[in-house]
Amino acid sequence: MSAVEQWRGVASEQDEEISGHVSALLQRRSRRLLGSLVRPHRRRVWWLVLAVLLQNAAAMSGPWLVGMGIDRGIPALRSGRGSPLFLVVAALVAAAVTEGVAYRAFVVGTGRVGQDVLLDLRERVFAHLQRLSLAFHERYTSGRVISRLTSDLDAITELLNEGVDTLVTSALSIISISVILMVLDWPLGLVSLAALIPLLLLSRWFQVRSTAAYRRTREAVALLVIHFTESLGGIRAVQAFRREPRNDEIFAEVNNQYRQATLRAFQLITIYWPGIHAIGNVATAAVLLYGGLRVVGGSMRLGVLVAFLLYLRRFFEPMAEISEFYDSFQGAAAGLEKLSGVLEEEPSVPMFSRPAPEPEGGWRGEVRFDGVRFGYRPGVEVLPELDLTVPAGQTVALLGRTGAGKTTIARLLARFYDPDEGRVTVDGTSLPELTEQQLRRVVAMVTQENFLFSGTVAENIVFGRPDATRAEIEAAAGAIGADVFIRALPDGYDTDVGKRGSRLSAGQRQLVAFARAFLADPAVLILDEATSSLDVPSERAVQRALRTVLADRTAVIIAHRLSTVEIADRVLVLDDGRVIEDGTPSDLLGSGGEYADLHRAWRDSLV
């Protein structure tokens, strides 16, 4: 285990090493993805092929025309006729202009197709990631998501920016030169085309070796991105605990691993590229010798040999170009492979696409858990068997130790996960039958995290319901007593909250998150310890607001402190995923169970 591995610790799944069979499977998968990306642009691709053929034909005619000028134009000129030469020169000019115009059209065209493909791929991956369930995100983690959407896509961008057009033009010139060489003089043509055999062997060797090498670079860069974003995201803790030297060490190691992986890939190129040059130069020498002998022997004209040698240059130059871009191609292929992997992930809680029939008179919010069993990992059951009915409009508080299953119940109700067995229903409709839009109108959750996006305060609140007016936003903030501090900000509701809301205090962030949930106005509201960072007066204000807001809606509150429980109609005390106490707060106080004990301790702590 390397030092980096020691630092990272052990996680459940490691899917690093890839066998040959899987490798072929991966390549097929990314080819499928590429096909589906390019298919919509088929017509444009045909136009591009036309443009590049034209450009190529014009470019190819150059040496031939020069040969004509020498073989025909000069003798004609010597005998006093200038027109063949002028004709050749005019043709050269025409070819040059055609080549330029067609080339520009081709580059712009491929650029557009490339950028469209890139946009399509970006949006597809992003949308797919948004669709994937939380279970996936918790396994896959944000660092890798970021790495996929940045560095992997960068690799593809690099290829599109600098590779594709060169690849295509080079490939085309190689093919057309092969044809021209054969037409000009087939024995000499055969001699030069024989060079293709070692060339193909060398390319095959490179392809096999480099695929694995580039795959490793993608893995390595993902690790680098993870460490980079995480440590800068948590910079406060890093600095407060003098973590910088150790982080430097880890980053240096991760960075070094990435360097090593890249080096390995580059070393292959270092053998491949000069190899191509060597083969080309040997072929040129062979043609020169053979052709020269034939000219001397009189079975070949000098002009043909000159043209042949000119073409041969253009034959091997693009080979080298291709090998150069084969490098960015392999990088992009590895990126595409990773992205196709993400796109193949199926959401573990697939959303229904056809809306379930809305209950008459709208959603009331009766929640039922029927025989629900659930565990995050096989064999570790968090909820052994839960049956629970929350009548519409009731406010339920969940109490219990860490690991008792409070948050799990909330997550099942918000459909972050689906139960292993049994079902969760709202107003008799099973949650999986709802579309995403319906689901979020029915159930909304305020989490402990209070994550704020960069943007203004208003933008963060309106996240709860994008079509809300400014007045509604301010009303929601007002209802929970957040408008006092918001108005005191320099630009009021239009104040930028800074990165992750750094301009606001933890309590203020929580109030904004609350306003967001109130604005969403769902039939069932889940509060996961949502008042933990508030001072007592703010908490009281929020609770006052909750009383009105929750009056006609169902609420599930995960409570760590008993002040929250005060507004509940009903308390559930959980232990190991089972309900051990269930009743109104006053009933439970009288029964002398765990709740009563906790409550007594809490009252004592109050001033």
Residue with tokens 């193949």: 344
Nearest approach, Cβ of residue 485 and another protein (Å): 5
Question: 383 - beta bridge partners?
Answer: 374
Specify the stretch interacting with another protein by CB under 8 A; choose among 7-15, 17-25, 194-202, 205-213.
Answer: 7-15
Residue with tokens 């995100």: 137
**CB of 248 or CB of 421, closer to another protein:** 248
Near another protein in 452-471, by CB under 8 A: 453-454, 463-464, 466
Task: Provide the token pair at 507.
Answer: 């309590």
DSSP secondary structure of 93-128: HHHHHHHHHHHHHHHHHHHHHHHHHHHHHHHHHHHH
Q: Locate 251 and state its tokens.
A: 């980053």
Whether residue 581 contacts residue 595, with contact meaning beta carbons closer than 8 Å, is answered with: yes
CA separation for the pair 551, 558 (Å, rounded): 18
Does 40 contact another protein by CB under 8 A?
no
Contact mark string toward another protein, 558..597, x via CB under 8 A: --xxxx----------------------------------
**From 167, 412, 444, 588, residue interacting with another protein (rule: CB under 8 A):** 444
Q: Which is nearer to another protein, 270 or 389 (CB)?
A: 270
Binding mask 75-104 for another protein (x = CB under 8 A): --xx------xx-xx--xx-xxx-xxx-xx
Q: How far is the CB of 215 from another protein (least distance, A)?
A: 18
In the region spanning residues 124 to 143, those forming contacts with another protein, defined by CB under 8 A, are: 126-127, 129-131, 134, 137-138, 141-143
Q: Binding another protein by CB under 8 A: which of 21, 39, 43, 242?
A: 242
> Is residue 409 near another protein by the rule CB under 8 A?
no
Q: In what order do the strands lie in the sheet with 395-400?
A: 443-446, 524-528, 554-558, 395-400, 570-575, 578-583
* 230, 370, 418, 587: residue in contact with another protein (rule CB under 8 A): 230
SS3 state at 178: helix
Residue with smaller CB distance to another protein, 340 or 531: 531
User: What's the rounded Cα separation, in Å, for the pair 541 and 553?
Assistant: 19
Which positions from 136 through 195 interact with another protein, judged by CB under 8 A? 137-138, 141-143, 145-146, 149-151, 154, 157-158, 161-162
Contact flags string 294-333 toward another protein, x per CB under 8 A: -xx-----x--xx--xx--xx--x----------------
| Size of the chain in residues | 607
- Chain residues 323-382 in contact with another protein, contact rule CB under 8 A: none
Q: From the CB of 213, what's the least distance to another protein, in Å? A: 12
**Quick one: which of 48, 52, 62, 356 contacts another protein (CB under 8 A)?**
62
Contact map string, positions 509 to 538, toward another protein, x by CB under 8 A: --x-x--x---x--------x--xxxxxxx
The answer to whether 70 touches 301, Cβ cutoff 8 Å, is no
If you ran DSSP here, which 8-state letter would residue 232 be given?
H
Cβ 151 to another protein, closest distance in Å?
A: 5
Closer by beta carbon to another protein, 28 or else 470? 470
DSSP 254-308: HHHHHHHHHHHHHHHHHHHHHHHHHHHHHHHHHHHHHHHHHHHHTSS-HHHHHHH
> What 3-state DSSP class applies to 572?
strand
| CA gap 395, 410 in Å, rounded | 13
Among 163, 365, 400, 577, binds another protein (CB under 8 A): 400
Stretch that binds another protein, among 34-42, 46-54, 336-344, 497-505 (CB under 8 A): 497-505
Q: Quote the least distance from Cβ 41 to another protein, whole Å.
A: 14
Site string for another protein, 210-229 (x = CB under 8 A): -----------x--xxx-xx
* Number of amino acids touching another protein (CB under 8 A): 188
Cα distances (Å, whole numbers) of residue 488 to 327, 484, 495: 56, 6, 10
What minimum distance in Å lies between the beta carbon of 26 and another protein? 23
- Please tell me whether residue 201 binds another protein under the rule CB under 8 A: no
Residue 36 engages another protein in binding (rule: CB under 8 A): no
Q: Which of 432, 385, 435 is nearest to 413 (CA)?
A: 432
The minimum distance between CB 363 and another protein, in angstroms, equals: 14
Q: Which one, of 319, 69, 279, 44, lies nearest residue 171 by Cα?
A: 319
CB of 334 to another protein, least distance (A): 14
What count of other Cβ atoms lies within 10 Å of the Cβ of residue 251?
A: 14
Give alpha helix (H) positions in 298-357: 302-344
Q: Is 8 in the site for another protein (CB under 8 A)?
A: yes
User: What are the start-end ranges of the E strands in 451-593?
Assistant: 524-528, 554-558, 570-575, 578-583
Helix (H, G, I), strand (E, B) or coil at 527: strand
CB 344, min distance to another protein, A: 19
